[in-house]
Each structure stands twice: as structure tokens, then as C-alpha cells.
Structure 1
Amino acid sequence: MQICIRFALILTLWAGFPGICPLIWARIVRIDITSRQSPTFDGRVFGPVGAYEKLRGRAYGEIDPNHPQNALITDIVLAPRNARGMVEYAMDIYIMKPVRLGSGNHKLFLEVNNRGGKLFGGLNNSRGGNDPTTAADAGEGFLMNRGYTLVWNGWDISAAPVNNNLTITVPVATNPDGTPITGPSYEYIVFDNQGVQSYTLAYPAASLDKARAALTVRNRLNDTPVTIPPDGWEYVNERSIRLLPAGTPFRQSAIYEFTYTAKDPLVAGLGLAATRDFVSFLRYATADDFGNPNPLAGDVQYTFSYTLSQPGRYLNDFQTLGFNGDEQGRRVIDGMENWLGGSS
């Protein structure tokens, strides 16, 4: 298991005890809308709901690492803190809403993105895409015709900042004395395409000494892994490995497994708090700490989420570990649809 992507299996029912809450809540402290396209979908009108507009931007949040609800996040006590003692994060946000917000159905549709990508197109019988813009991108407009406000936020630290993916920025955990944290890491490597000559590691290697790492390969899951000798692979740098001699591709569909000592774990569990606090902000807040208005202020009456494949596991953890209530005990998501949740 890769370091720092696990969560302590503790559920603390803190929200049920009024009067013992901290004065500073975890929250979105700033929301920056960096672009607004109004109307979007080439001005297409969706029945009585009317036209839609698209807002893109960045949200900045902070959480109290000492609050019992946040204590489940692995390594949160080792994350750097700001002057208020809070741990900070930042994430991409994306909102599509009726231009006349009051003409919508006052329901928020949160798609928990899959590795940064939007997969909601099937609901609209459309190609969807990561930046839906044209009338064709709306397809049959199932969601828009019914007046839903559609929102997305970055949560997955592994989402690459390409192709309009939604990303999140979280801090690196360090030892109390400031030295790097190291620990065992495991990579399961399978390429369905041919000709791939290098692999990017999830975390940087703490050492480039190949004696402290091992690479194996097998054709099928039931086969016995075969160790690739040290002269059969090398580190390109601390974040990448390749086979030797240089130019040798990884075998298509073969199963490679790489174990090594990694460093600089990211506080990945902040992705759970980020979704919690973003939806809570949209549902309950009027403005952020700097006076920037909540673009959905006073409108959201119900919230629903939708996932396809991998993020279904994320939402299971989100619910099971208690993140579906904000720190003031208010419900975050009213209904969850985990469609075709991937197994692992």
C-alpha cells in the first residue's frame, strides 16, 4: 500500500454534542471565480429553466487538525500549519448553474470526478467532456432540463493537471523536526498500450540505491512473480523508473510490481475534508472570509452526488468515516448514487 493513502478506521460522533465545539470551523476561506461563461452551451435554452452559465475557479480551505472529526486524516498532525494553527489546501472548482438561479430546482448535483475527469455525459446522453461548452456537449440535457446545478471539485492528489482535470493541492507531511518522512511504498504497474518505456512513481524515492528496491513481473495474476535483476532496470530520477537496456518497453498487459522506500507523503485525506467543506459552503454560506459571494447563496435546498467507478470507493469512505456531516453537525450530501463503483 502506498504511504499516506490510508485512513484510520475511527468514527467520532463529535457533531452530536453542542457546546463543546471549537470557535473556528473548518471551512472554505476564499473562493476565486476566475472565469464565467454566461450563457454557456452556445446559449441553448432548457425549457422553463432557461440558459446555463459556467463558472470556473479555485477554492481555498483550512481545517483544524485537532478537531476529532479531522483527526482521522492520516498524518494530519504532521502537516504544516498557518498562523491560526490550521492546515490549508486548495482545489479546482467548476460550476454549471441556471443563469436565472431561481428558475432551477434548487438541487445541487455533485459529480465526484474520476481521477480529475467528468463522466456525467451518460446521464445527459451526451459526450460530456471535461469542459462542456457547446450545445452538443449538453446532449439531451437531462440534468439541465430539470434545473439541477452541477458542481465539481478537485479531491484526488493523483489527478494530473492536464485536459481540464480537477486537481487539489495538499501539504507534505514532515517529521516534527522538519526532516522528511520515509516509508515503504508499493506500485502495481500494468500498461494496456505498447511501447511505454518509463513509469512515474506515486511518491519520490528516498534513495536511488537499487538494493533498497525490488521490481518483479508476471504475465497473469496466478503466476509467480519473477524478480527483474538490478541490471534490468534503473531509476531515471527519484520519481521515475525504466527497464534496461534503455529503450526497452514494459510488456503490454504484464503485471509489474515495484517496492521501494519513498519519502514526502502528501496529506491525501484532506481530499475528504475538501469535498465536505466545499458542498457545505455552497449549501449554507453567504460569502467567504474575504466577502466574495457564494455563487449559490440561499438557493440550495437538497444535495445529491453521483460517481462512476473509482470515486465510488471514495464516497463510501466519505460516508463511513463521518465526513458527510460538517463540523457544525449539518448534513452535507442528502443522497448518493455510486454507479458501477470499482472494486479493489
Structure 2
Amino acid sequence: MPVTRFEVRLRRPLAGGAPFGDVGPYEELKGSLHFAIDPKHAANERIIDVALAPSDHVGRVEFESDVSILVPVDRARSSGRVMLDVVNRGNTVAVPNFNRATRPAFVPGSNPDPPVDPGDGFLMRRGFVVISCGWQCDLPEVPGLLGLRGPEALDARGHRLTGRVYTQLQTPEPATHLLLSDRGHRAYPAADLDEHDAVLLVRDQPDGEPMTIERGRWRFARVAGDNVGPDARSGIVPDPRYIWVDGGFEKGRLYQVTYTAVGAPVLGLGIAALRDSVAWLKHGTPREGNPAPAAIRYAYAYGRSQTGRLLRTLVYNDLNLDEQGREALDGIVANVAGGLRGEFNQRFGQNSKDRPHMMDYVHPSTGEELQRRLAARGSTLKVFYTNSSAEYHRGDASLTHTDPEGTRDAPSGPSARVYHFAGTEHGLGVWPPTAQKVTAADPAEPPEHSQNLRNTIDYAPLLRACLVNLDRWVTEGIEPPPSRHPRLADGSAVPFEALHAVFDRIPDANYPRHHARPCRLDFSRLPAHSP
């Protein structure tokens, strides 16, 4: 068993000990889950660089995750089902989305252990055990976020690895310097502050013509002290995790930097943590710290947006078998991930990176293609791929059910369903209506603004229906409704241009005239650099 111990640091009743129907009261167990995996085992062979990680005296790679477990006080009242909450940038998503609950916004100095809001108790009344498991090693340093602590990969001489990083930066306000990461995450430091081959591009559209900013105009540096205006020149200090440009970064423009970084954590251990935490709850013993031994039979995972893409990556790499050859997860709901995967199992990958024009993780996209390895070995894993309308307008959701060129409909496969929550936005809708949103991963950043009021439609009932149908499919063999999504064959899937006339009839809709479609990328060639 890869889980070696569960270190509980907090134990408390959920919702003050209030009962949830016949299941009764719940409690929360919060702490650290410790792992040790065999890097040579077939179950781990697709984890990139795991063989380069330092190992213990018996050759196993050690790491640990922050976890929160919500479990019935009377374990016998559990329904035998566990929900793996694949946290998004350290924030819980399963209880907030299925239970219509609020999610705390963590900021420096805030309470790292706020009470869990159970919402209307949907999951609890159905007897689910819920485990929220940290899997990211690069989270912003904000107490309360659930993360992972693991090793770096090292070369044969024990030295840190170096490699190329390609990242995109954008600011909603003029800025003097920017952190070399997405949404305040820990940046890969530049290996050489004076690297001649480092390249900084700027463009106005993801697929627009780039302009190279001369190397002499920017540095790996930041402005210290109070002099942080866009034209600040005093107080510039070298810093391998930041980038400074003469004249400052302009609001809204896309800056893309390619440089050589140093220090490569084994990112794929995050997927192993998710897999093995569930396997531990299903099969672990009291001696191994399992708080609900022999209580769990079925395991489901829910991820949204970033972590929906993570689950698509788990599926594609077939990382669902534990070291004993057992299926960890029985069902998955990968929500609002579009047709993307991500850099979650890549040397120098960026876990928070989510732009299709910056990643080589779009194709394959359909359920049938993603699950080809699973099908080849006869896996019983069932997957629902769900998307809102936002992922279609972003340009990649249609790839979950068409060929890469968008010329024909593609099947989802016998063990998958693809559903479109029509007329909804990326989130579950907000009330009262607002045009503003704070980025949860880094609340210190300026808020995002939209030109129109945000969508108010709450699609939580659809998510609940998906979970119920998925559970029936897994436990009783009852087929869920067929996939429901736009199709080329019946004219419900149309190009962006066909919508111009529709939205033009709505006063002040300002429907975008340009949509950047995902494209095939070639990372074998670097953009030209300037002296």
C-alpha cells in the first residue's frame, strides 16, 4: 500500500454535528497523507521522471499531500461510496458544486481551517465519504490551500535539471514586473539571469502575429520598494522568478516568454496521490490509518476546469491502476475542461497553465480516443465529460465530439458520455448579477471584469443528475442517457461566424468578431530572438 500513514492534525464535527438524514452527523479529519511508491512498478511507469526522484532505503519515492476527509460519524451508515474532490489550485470543488455550498477564499493571514460549509448536504444525505486531496507542488504560498510536497528530479550526478519553459503572462492593469507563472503560482526560476537565448514575445490575440521584444529591453528582475509604476527604473533588483521590461507591461496584452529554468519537481506524483488516496480508502486497513476501513466499495472523482483537465490526463495516461493492479476510480465527472488536458505529467510542466494556444495537449480529445488504453486492457472505468457553453466559445469543447479538423462528428465510446450544459457559463452562475470576478487562486490580484453581466444559471442540478446516473451505471449497469451535444450532422454545431447575425440583434451584445481556434503546435523550433 503506497499510503504509509495518515497524520491527523484536526478533527471536528461537520456543521456543528447536525445530522444529514438517515446517515446522521459527519466529521472532518484534516491532515497529511504520506505516500511511498515504487518507481519501477508498472503502475507508475508513465509518471514522467519518477525514476529520477531521490528514493528511500528500499527504493521508494516519498511525498505527502494535504487532505480533508468528510466521513459519517457512524461509519456503518456510509453508502459505500467515496467522492474524490480533485481540488482546483488548492481549493475544494466537490462540496461547493454538488451541495451548492460556499467556498472559502484563502488570502495571506486568513484562517487556514475555516468551517466547511456543507450547503444543502446533497452528498452527505447520500452517504458519500468525501476526500479532498492536494496534488499540486507549485501552489501560491497561501495557508489553507491543499497542496503536495514532493521531490525534484535529479540527474545521475545528483544535480538539479534544467530545461526550457514557455509561459504566457497577462495583466489587467499596467505593471512594472510580473511573476513568471500563472495566477501567483510558484515560478520556475531562470537558470541564467543573462541568458542570451531567452525570448519575450508580445501579441494582442492568442493566434495573432507576435512581436519580439529586444533582449536588451527586459531582464529577469523585479522592482523593489514603493517605486512600482510602469516607468520605474530605480530599485530594479535581479530575481530569477520575475521578469521586468523597460516601459512596463501593458494592460491586456499577451506576453510569452521562453527561457531555461532550473529545478524540475516530479509533477506526475500529483496524479499518483489522487489514485492512491482513493485506493487507500477502498482497501486500506486501520493499521495503515484508514478512517473508514471496509466501508468503501465505489470511488468517483470530480474535477472542474483545471482539474477536469487533470482527470482527462489521468484517463489518457491510464494511471487508474494501483500497485496491486486494482482500479482506483470507478467513475469520473470531468467538468468544464473543454477538449484539453494539461502539463500535469511533464518535466517543467505548469499545473495552472490553461490556454490551448500555449500547450501541446489538445489532441486526442474525444472520449473514445482518451480511453483507448483503458479499453485495450478491459477497464471498467466510466467517464462523463461535461461542458458549459463557455468552453465552446473558447474554441476547444467541440473537439470532445468531432475530429481535429471539425469536419465530422466523432463517437464518445462505450464507456463515456459527453454532455453540453447549454446556455451556461464556466462557473455555476452567480447571484446577484455582477460583471466582476476575483481569481480564487490569487485573491491579491486585480479582479477580472466582463463587458456584460455574468450568467446566473446554476447548473448544479445537472451535475447531480450526472452523478446519480454515473453511480447507477457503475453499480447497477444501468446505461445513462446518450451523449447530448451539438452535432455537425444536424446543424446544431456551427462555426463562430454563423453566430454574428444572431448576437447582432441583441443591443450592445458586442459579440467578438475574432475567435482564436486551437491549432497544432510545434515546440521543436524556438521563435527568433533579438540581441
Q: TM-score range by the shorter chain?
A: 0.7 to 0.9
8 Å Cα contact 2:190-2:220 kept in structure 1: no
CA deviation vs aligned residue, 1:106-131 (integer Å, no higher than 9, x gap): 21011111111112312112213376
Q: Which residue of the partner structure matches residue 123 of structure 1?
A: 98
Distance 1:225 1:140 in 2: 49
Distance 1:292 1:271 in 2: 20
Secondary structure at 1:77 match in 2 = helix
Q: Which residue of the partner structure matches residue 79 of structure 2?
A: 105
Bigger CA drift: 192-201 or 250-259? 192-201
Secondary structure at 2:196 match in 1 = helix
Distance 2:304 2:128 in 1: 18
1:178: how far off?
A: 1.7
Distance 2:83 2:48 in 1: 29
Go from structure 1 to structure 2 and tell me whether the alpha carbon gap of 1:339 and 1:256 turns closer, same or farther (over 3 Å shift).
Answer: same
1:292: how far off?
A: 5.3
1:192: how far off?
A: 3.8
Alignment of 1:134-149 (within 5 A): 137-149=117-129
Select which of 291, 297, 304 maps to 1:301: 297
Instruction: Tell whether 2:179 aligns with 1:204.
Output: no
Q: Which residue of the partner structure matches residue 264 of structure 2?
A: 265
Q: Which residue of the partner structure matches residue 18 of structure 1?
A: none
1:143: how far off?
A: 1.0
Select which of 67, 72, 80 maps to 1:93: 67
Q: After the TM superposition, which segments of 4 or more aligned residues of structure 1 sit over 4 Å from their partners? A: 193-196
8 Å Cα contact 2:168-2:256 kept in structure 1: yes
Q: Which residue of the partner structure matches residue 33 of structure 1?
A: 8
Aligned-residue Cα RMSD (Å) equals 1.9
Q: Which residue of the partner structure matches residue 166 of structure 1?
A: 146
| Structure ID, larger Rg | 2
Distance 2:20 2:120 in 1: 10
1:257: how far off?
A: 0.4
Q: Answer 1 or 2: higher relative contact order, Cα 8 Å, separation at least 6.
A: 1
CA deviation vs aligned residue, 1:89-122 (integer Å, no higher than 9, x gap): 1111111111112122121011111111112312
Q: Which residue of the partner structure matches residue 188 of structure 1?
A: 168
Distance 1:309 1:266 in 2: 23
CA deviation vs aligned residue, 1:315-339 (integer Å, no higher than 9, x gap): 1221232221111111111111111
8 Å Cα contact 2:169-2:178 kept in structure 1: no
Q: Which residue of the partner structure matches residue 225 of structure 1?
A: 210
Q: Which residue of the partner structure matches residue 252 of structure 1?
A: 251
Distance 2:25 2:189 in 1: 47
Q: Which one-letter code corresponds to 1:133 in the other structure?
A: P
Instruction: Tell whether 2:280 aligns with 1:281.
Output: yes
For structure 2, the 5+ residue unaligned runs are 106-112, 182-186, 222-238, 341-355, 357-531
Go from structure 1 to structure 2 and tell me whether the alpha carbon gap of 1:111 and 1:192 turns closer, same or farther (over 3 Å shift).
Answer: farther
Secondary structure at 1:252 match in 2 = coil
Q: Which residue of the partner structure matches residue 327 of structure 1?
A: 323
Q: Which one-letter code corresponds to 1:53 in the other structure?
A: E
Q: Which one-letter code corresponds to 1:334 in the other structure?
A: D
Distance 2:62 2:124 in 1: 34
Matched residues, number: 310
Select which of 18, 22, 26 maps to 1:44: 18
TM-score, normalised via structure 2 length: 0.56
